[in-house]
Structures are given as C-alpha cells and as structure tokens.
Amino acid sequence: MAPVPLEDKLKSEIPAVSQAVVLGDKLKFLSVLLTLKTEVDLNTQEPLDKLVRVSKDWVERNGDCTVSTIQDVLKELNEKKNEKVKFDIAKHM
C-alpha cells in the first residue's frame, strides 16, 4: 500500500493535522508521524508551541480535555495516558 493516499486522507479528514508521514515498508505494521497545525513566527516562519484554533478545538473535542499548546497535548498523551485522541486518529486510517 502506498503511503501518500493514507497521508492525504489523514490530512483531509483531520483538519488539525499539518503534516503526516506513514511508515511501514517491510515492517509488521504501519505507523504514522503527525504534526498539528500551530501558530508561526511571522518573521522566521518557524512553528510556535501554540496551537491554532482548529487544532485546539479538535484535540479538546476528541480528547475530552483542555489544551492550548503542543506541550499540553504531549502531556495528555504521555503523562495522563489520554487514549481518546489516539483512537480518533486510528479510526481515520
């Protein structure tokens, strides 16, 4: 299975996703690396930690939590073990 259709589907179905990379060639299962849309520094165009509204709303709606930064999302996933966000991503694959 080619990764590009899966990556494009994830980005179209989850508006909070900025980039998606599917990995799995010669592996037992597929994995996906996602980045969420964040605000950018207007001078350098570097991404900032603060989520844009669509990302914030999506994580809060699907994770039943309150977030405003990438660090908040990582805390939900890693420290609080919030599986709801992971499940919502998986159902689109």
**Nearest-angstrom CA–CA distance, 72 and 66:** 8
Kind and range of the H or E element at 49?
strand 47-51
> 9 forms bridges with which residues in the sheet?
none
Confidence category of residue 90, pLDDT binned at 50, 70, 90: confident
Residue 93 has pLDDT above 70, yes or no: no
Give the predicted TM-score (pTM) of the model: 0.85
Percent of the chain with pLDDT strictly greater than 90: 76
Average pLDDT over the chain, rounded to an integer: 92
Range of the domain at 47: 3-90
Check residue 39 and give its pLDDT.
Answer: 98
